[in-house]
């Protein structure tokens, strides 16, 4: 397949995966975005400019995650490879459980969609499958592609996803600590097996979460209970789990966002732009933030976008 454009603009949202009981399955897109310009060049090779998150830290060559994912997407549809120039404006924090790596992977795939002559070859379904294969799990990639809340799974090695209804009153707070934790490290502390009773508990809570997210936000505290990952990860993010404990004891539906260490609060809007969790969150910190940041974030309802620049 040939290229159909030589300059695209891409925007891709942050995401929060798991949402408590939906380990490697549930995710939600957040109103916090990486944006990038991608140019296809006649000369081979790659140049990358980065501002914001990851500047001076991420690779500026073929190892850059957007570049390698873009190339994988071109290969996937049989398009020819090309020289590339990327200008990345990153806002999603890295290694914090807000889906920065999935955003980079999806950005590359969606950029490839914008560059090729037949964009439909990289449909949303194809993008989720490829991004899931690159990431190893599809729960961030699905909402990054589709927006909103999603439920993703793997079928015969192929990753798929559906969109879930999200109640209008749902309000999200990402409470971001100053420290990083790689997803790889946080996956490394999980056990190979779990007790049958915990698996049964989890299946019920995950099903309940669909109802709570879409229609019954008053059930969110119960529906976000988890026995498969958060407790096992306490040793690598004790501060985050301590905050989750304090907030949940105060009746707030707080969970670890993705593989952490960010804490995500699923709250309800209370009218004036505030949420019913604000008081408990402020009380938990008692005025001493210690480098933590509280980010009120809307649910992104659009997912990744690409437009050709003329």
Ligand X SMILES: N[C@@H](CCOP(=O)(O)O)C(=O)O
Ligand Y SMILES: Nc1ncnc2c1ncn2[C@@H]1O[C@H](COP(=O)(O)OP(=O)(O)O)[C@@H](O)[C@H]1O
When binding is defined by CB under 6 A, the residue of 11, 24, 213, 284 that contacts ligand X is 24
Q: Does 258 bind ligand X (CB under 6 A)?
A: yes
Q: Using CA atoms, how far apart are residues 212 and 132, in angstroms rounded to an integer?
A: 26
Question: Binds 68, which of ligand X, ligand Y, none (CB < 5 to 8 A, cut-off by type)?
Answer: none
202 binds ligand X (CB under 6 A): no
Residue 226, interface with ligand X (CB under 6 A)? no
Ligand-binding annotation for 100, yes or no, is: yes
**Roughly how many angstroms between the first and final C-alpha of the chain, as a whole number?**
21
Do the Cβ atoms of 239 and 288 come closer than 8 Å?
A: no
Cα(99)–Cα(101) distance, integer angstroms? 6
For ligand X, give the closer residue by CB, 27 or 114: 27
Least distance in angstroms from the C-beta of 39 to ligand X: 28
Is there a binding annotation on residue 103?
A: yes
Q: Does 12 bind ligand X (CB under 6 A)?
A: no
> Can you name the residues that pair with 190 across neighbouring β-strands?
none
Which one of residues 134, 259, 277, 299 is an interface residue with ligand X (CB under 6 A)?
A: 259
Choice between 97 and 114, CB closer to ligand X: 97
User: C-beta of 93: minimal distance to ligand X in Å?
Assistant: 10
Element (H, E) at 141: helix 141-146
For ligand Y, which is the closer residue by CB, 104 or 237? 104
**Three-state DSSP state, 187:** helix
* Binder of ligand X out of 13, 21, 97, 147 (CB under 6 A): 97
| Interacting residues of 183 by C-beta distance below 8 A, sequence separation 6+ | 95, 97, 101, 258, 259
Choose among 116, 87, 106, 34: nearest CA to 308: 116
Q: Which residue has the tokens 């040939």?
A: 2
Q: Which residues bind ligand Y (CB under 6 A)?
A: 34, 54, 58, 64-66, 88, 90, 94-101, 104, 182-183, 258-259
- Binding-site positions for ATP read 93-103
């Amino acid at each position: 397949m040939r290229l159909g454009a030589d300059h695209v603009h891409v925007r891709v949202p942050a995401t929060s995966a798991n949402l408590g009981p939906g380990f490697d399955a549930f995710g939600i897109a957040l109103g916090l975005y990486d944006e990038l310009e991608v140019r296809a060049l006649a000369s081979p090779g790659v140049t990358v400019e980065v501002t914001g998150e990851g500047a001076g830290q991420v690779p500026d060559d073929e190892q850059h995650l957007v570049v390698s994912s873009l190339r994988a997407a071109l290969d996937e549809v049989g398009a020819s490879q090309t020289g590339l120039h990327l200008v990345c404006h990153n806002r999603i924090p890295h290694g914090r459980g807000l889906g920065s790596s999935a955003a980079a992977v999806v950005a590359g795939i969606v950029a490839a969609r914008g560059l090729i002559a037949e964009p439909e070859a990289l449909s949303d379904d194809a993008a989720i499958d490829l991004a899931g294969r690159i990431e190893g799990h599809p729960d961030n990639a699905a909402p990054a592609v589709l927006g909103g809340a999603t439920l993703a799974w793997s079928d015969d090695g192929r990753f798929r996803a559906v969109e879930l209804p999200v109640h209008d009153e749902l309000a999200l707070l990402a409470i971001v600590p100053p420290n990083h934790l790689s997803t790889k490290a946080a996956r490394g502390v999980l056990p190979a097996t779990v007790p049958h009773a915990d698996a049964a508990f989890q299946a019920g809570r995950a099903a309940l979460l669909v109802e709570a997210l879409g229609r019954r936000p008053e059930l969110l505290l119960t529906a976000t209970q988890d026995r498969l990952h958060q407790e096992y990860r306490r040793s690598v993010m004790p501060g985050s789990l301590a905050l989750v404990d304090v907030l949940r004891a105060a009746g707030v539906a707080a969970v670890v966002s993705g593989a952490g260490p960010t804490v995500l609060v699923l709250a309800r809007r209370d009218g004036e732009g505030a949420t019913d969790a604000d008081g408990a969150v402020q009380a938990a910190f008692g005025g001493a933030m210690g480098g933590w940041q509280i980010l009120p974030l809307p649910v992104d309802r659009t997912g990744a976008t690409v437009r050709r620049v003329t």
